Amino acid sequence: MRIGPYELPNIAFVAPMAGVTDRPYRKLCRALGAGYAVSEMAASNPRLWASEKTMRRLDHSGEQAPVAVQLAGSDPAMLTEAARFNVARGAQIIDINMGCPAKKVCNVACGSALLRDPRLVVRILEAVVGAVDVPVTLKFRTGWDPSHRNAVEVARLAEANGVAALTLHGRTRACGFGGTAEYETIRAVKQAVTIPVVANGDIDSPQKAREVLEVTGADAIMVGRAAQGRPWIFREITHYLATGEVLPPPLTADVRELLLAHLDDHYAFYGASTGVRTARKHIIWYLGQLVDGRAFCDEMNTLDDCSAQSRAVDRFLRRHAERHERLAYAPVLH
């Protein structure tokens, strides 16, 4: 699949997730097989650009091309300025967020709230596409609520205004992350446009990735929540799509090395004070479902030092490896 001039190495992409897909995590996912990664959502308001949080989100040092930056906002002029600002800082693709369902985003008419106003959608896309010389893509949802699905209309407007590719999460804004993704709408969008369409929503296994590709006809798939604590899912998906073979769970010893390296990169990126706190959610995603993982995570959450946190993870995974050559998950109790 191509986005503008960029030929992507495979069709398994990692979704932009605020507070999750920071630079260390994006680089890890790319190293483990993700063909494409988009930054966390960055604000278009220039008053926020100098904030530590935004500056960190716009740090793409050492990332594999193409560098893609996702912008959120509702003002065409601000989004235009933000797009130019990010391209000047190295962004090679600009992605416009019209899919975030969070109330704090929708309450200021950003994210998926924009789907209620197709005329504003056109003004934004027309302005941003015309302002930069890099591809502009759009991530959106199927509509505002189940009674107001307008994904096909928005997709056609996007294509007509020069958008290079679409990513569609198969839910409306009102659905949040509940229920199941509506792949029939993604299929309808794919049939309505000629630009690439990426399917997003509920893709949690290699088998589901292939099913979604077959049902929707999409050009690629994007994995979000299922990649949290499981960045090797991209390697599993690409292998399965190529061979039909399901890879076994990774070796515990390999996960130990991977997670410790991820933590080192995370601490270096955020600094000790923020790093030890923001690393906790990643550790829980990696280890919380393993045998004895929940008790370990409860104990780990009391640690407030990066070295102590890393050593605790090391000890836990060494013990786990002594009993389980490969990752062993706790049984699900019903």
Would you say residue 330 lies in a domain? no
Q: Which residues pair with 2 in a beta bridge?
A: 7
List pLDDT tens digits, range 111-128: 567 888 999 999 999 999
Would you say residue 286 lies in a domain? yes
Q: How many structural domains is the chain composed of?
A: 2
Going by C-alpha positions, the residue among 40, 33, 48, 79 that lies closest to residue 230 is 33
Collect all residues with Cβ–Cβ distance below 8 Å to 281 and sequence separation of at least 6.
19, 20
3-state SS, residue 77:
helix
Catalytic residue positions, numbered: 100
Report the alpha-carbon distance of residue 227 to residue 262 in Å, rounded: 14
Residue type, 151: A
Is 259 found in the same domain as 133?
no
Would you say residue 265 lies in a domain? yes
Percentage of residues in the chain having pLDDT higher than 90 = 79
| Local confidence band at 109 (pLDDT 50, 70, 90 cut-offs) | very low
- Domain range for 284: 252-323
| Local confidence band at 86 (pLDDT 50, 70, 90 cut-offs) | very high
Collect all residues with Cβ–Cβ distance below 8 Å to 303 and sequence separation of at least 6.
276, 309, 312
Which CATH number do you get for residue 84? 3.20.20.70
Report the alpha-carbon distance of residue 80 to residue 322 in Å, rounded: 55
Would you say residue 331 lies in a domain? no
List pLDDT tens digits, range 132-158: 999 999 999 998 878 888 999 999 999
Residue 88 has pLDDT above 50, yes or no: yes
Predicted TM-score of the model (pTM): 0.93
Is 146 found in the same domain as 129?
yes
Would you say residue 201 lies in a domain? yes
List pLDDT tens digits, range 277-311: 999 999 999 999 999 999 999 999 999 999 999 99
Collect all residues with Cβ–Cβ distance below 8 Å to 231 and sequence separation of at least 6.
14, 25, 28, 29, 32, 34, 258
Q: How many C-beta neighbours within 10 Å does residue 38 have?
A: 25
| Local confidence band at 57 (pLDDT 50, 70, 90 cut-offs) | confident
Length in residues, the chain:
334
List pLDDT tens digits, range 164-223: 999 999 988 777 777 789 999 999 999 999 999 999 999 999 999 999 999 999 999 999
- Supply the pLDDT for residue 100: 61
91, 68 contact by CB (below 8 A): yes
Query: Which residue bears the tokens 């928005």?
Result: 154
- Supply the pLDDT for residue 108: 43
Is 195 found in the same domain as 258?
no
